[in-house]
Chains A and B, each alone.
Chain A
Amino acid sequence: MKKSMAAFHYIVWMVIFTVVPMLLILGYSLIEVTDNGVIHLTLDYIRKCFEPIYLQIIAFSFYTAILCTALCLVIGYPIAIILAGDSFKHKNTLIFLLLAPMWMNFLLRTYSWLTLLERNGLINRLLTLLGLPNHSILYTTGSVMLGMVYNFLPFMILPIYSVVSKIDSNLIEAANDLGASKWNIFRKITLPMSIQGVFSGIVMVFMPAVTTFVITRLLGGGQKEMIGNVIEQQFIVSGDWSFGSALSALLMVVILVCISFSNRKGTAEKGERGALI
């Protein structure tokens, strides 16, 4: 028996539960069933995806997700570097505290923002107390962005942290001894070595951000819909599975292309989400 046969069950599993479903999605997006039950091929649904209104929504989704990823990077990168450094004694505890909210239901976490953001919510009450004017915060692009950054920030911090904390401290000491400035140490050692973590972080934040339909629903109030909402609507409301599948297939292709592109650019095979661990 060959040792590689240990993966046999897994391969069978993946073919049934990953490859076949993908083909089904493609299939659904390419067929049309007419009233008398005849099935024929059509490109109508794929074509429909390219109507301006949907292209606009796809563009908006990517724009929002890119903005969210950038914000997470800007906020999260310093956190990861600080945590990996020696400012804090109980580093492990802090990492645990960073992880702990992820064990709570993400819907609940998102939902509780409603209480804070509502017109008569806590933030506005605080503003009133301070004599400042009220703002409508909920159901805006801002509230959606807040919810996304809030939910996905740990996915940016953790991979960067895990890569940076593995940097050999001798390296930094040596640089120090040789008279390198702090800025130079960062620029020449920490930054290049953290790049892999940054790449993983970007992928891990961008992916869920571009397709979310829950955050936009709860905090966007149907006003700031993204591509995930349109897909959900096709399956749950309109019952137009072919169009829903076509949109899903398109999304899948766009994302896989982006990923393989960024893969070629930087990340090594084993990086990606493995770096979370």
Chain B
Amino acid sequence: MLKKAYVYIVFIFLYAPIVILALYSFNDARSRGSWGGFTLKWYVALLNDKSIIQALITTIAVALIASIIATVIGTFAALGIYFMSQKARNWVMNITYIPVLNPDIVTGVSLMLLFIFMRIPAGFMTLVLAHITFNVPYVILSVMPKLNQLNPHLFEASEDLGASMIYTFFRVILPEIRAGIVTGFLLAVTLSIDDFVVSFFTKGAGVNTLSVLIYAMARKNVSPAINALSTVMFVIVLLMLIIVNKRTKNEEILN
């Protein structure tokens, strides 16, 4: 009983601000302090706010593009690292840990310096490049454990049976490590959407992600339309999670 109560308290702590945000998205008064009655006007305002919609599109586009590229690079990298000699492997893994362990602010600043140094104008491109860079290591770290679980003779068997390397990869290896790749991809999307610091330093003119937009707003006053947006986003995420949850359960039953 005590255990349950404790868990509930922590969940209340985690959800209190989110509930508040959702409530205030229906608040007729503009300021955060007072309650002016129920309204849906912020949802209408949201649909009409070009900058918020644009930022939402940019956020999703950057997250998806960067995560897909990072997943591809990361999967092949994991495969390559798997076949490396112990020494080379240690080296590469150490470099892989740099973006993971580096403070966001150092990663962001250093990438900004790089783009200026290479004369790549800051914009959508730089944002995607930066996001790929901090995403790839997470994909590798998700895929590696699955590779390590592989039966090392699988490759040999497949090759002995005359399968080409490409065939071996797609038909033999890929199905085995699929779960790791999917987790890596989801992790990359999550990190990408939630990132503020790196985006802040590497974005260009007219390119705003939601995080950057909200940070700019938070220093003035956050439009209640943002509350509406986060409520919508949260409901979508919740629905997605419920669907995924149901599906895995069904699969479990089938298996």
Answer yes or no: A and B touching, Cβ < 8 Å: yes
Q: How far is the CB of B75 from chain A (nearest CB, A)?
A: 9
Judging by beta carbons under 8 Å apart, are B114 and A10 in contact?
no
Given the contacts A4-B84, A99-B241, A277-B183, A21 and B196 also touching, CB distance less than 8 Å: no
* A47: Cβ under 8 A from any B Cβ: no
Known: A3-B83, A107-B211. A116 touches B114 (CB 8 A): no
A231 to chain B minimum Cβ distance, whole angstroms, is 6
Q: Cβ of B121: which chain A residues have Cβ within 8 Å of it?
A: none
Q: Does B154 have its Cβ within 8 Å of any Cβ on chain A?
A: no
Task: Determine if A63 is an interface residue (Cβ-Cβ < 8 Å).
Answer: no
User: Is residue A94 within 8 Å, beta carbon to beta carbon, of the partner chain?
Assistant: yes
B136 touches A92 (CB 8 A): no
Task: Classify chain B: how many residues form its interface, as a range.
Answer: 35 or more
- Give the residue of B7, B93, B133, B145 whose beta carbon is less than 8 angstroms from that of A83: B7
How many A-B Cβ pairs are below 8 Å?
243
Q: Contact between B106 and A25 (Cβ–Cβ < 8 Å)?
A: yes
Question: Can you show 16 pairs from A to B with CB atoms below 8 A apart?
Answer: A4-B81, A6-B80, A7-B76, A78-B6, A83-B7, A87-B7, A88-B7, A102-B190, A103-B234, A107-B211, A108-B230, A115-B17, A122-B20, A208-B103, A228-B105, A272-B100
| Nearest B-chain residue to A11, judged by Cβ | B92
A210 touches B103 (CB 8 A): yes
Partner of B95 from the list A18, A25, A99, A116 (CB cut-off 8 Å) is A18
Beta-carbon contact of A112 and B113 below 8 Å? no
* B40: Cβ under 8 A from any A Cβ: no
Q: Interface residues, chain B, CB within 8 Å of chain A? A: 3-4, 6-7, 10-11, 13-18, 20-21, 24, 32-33, 73-74, 76-81, 83-85, 88, 92-93, 95-107, 109-114, 117, 129-130, 132-133, 136, 138, 140-142, 144-145, 148, 165, 180, 183-184, 187, 190, 193-194, 196-197, 201, 210-211, 214-215, 218, 222, 226, 230, 233-234, 237-238, 241-242, 244-245, 248-249
Which of B14, B78, B193 has the most chain A CB within a 10 Å cutoff?
Answer: B14
The answer on a CB contact under 8 Å between A231 and B105 is: yes
Q: Judging by beta carbons under 8 Å apart, are B105 and A93 in contact?
A: no
Q: Is the CB of B104 within 8 A of A19?
A: no
- Alpha-carbon gap, A275 to B3, bound state (A): 24
By a CB distance below 8 angstroms, the chain B residues around A78 are 3, 6
Q: Which residues of A contact B201 (CB under 8 A)?
A: 235
In the complex, are the beta carbons of A108 and B21 less than 8 A apart? yes
Chain A residues contacting B145 (CB-CB under 8 Å) are: 270, 274, 277
Closest chain-B Cβ to A150's Cβ sits at a distance in Å of 7
Q: Contact partner of A18 among B20, B133, B233, B242, CB < 8 A?
A: B133
Interface pair B144/A6, CB less than 8 Å apart: no
Q: Within 8 Å of chain B (Cβ to Cβ): is A214?
A: yes
Contact A248 B109 (CB under 8 A): yes
Residues in chain A near residue B218, CB distance under 8 A: 107, 111, 218
Q: Which chain B positions have C-beta within 8 A of A211?
A: 103-106
- Inter-chain contact A107/B105, CB cutoff 8 Å: no
CA distance A277 to B185 in the complex (A): 11
Partner of A274, one of B80, B141, B234: B141
Contact of A17 among B3, B21, B129 (CB under 8 A): B129
- Complexed CA–CA distance, A68 and B120 (Å): 38
CA distance A99 to B190 in the complex (A): 10
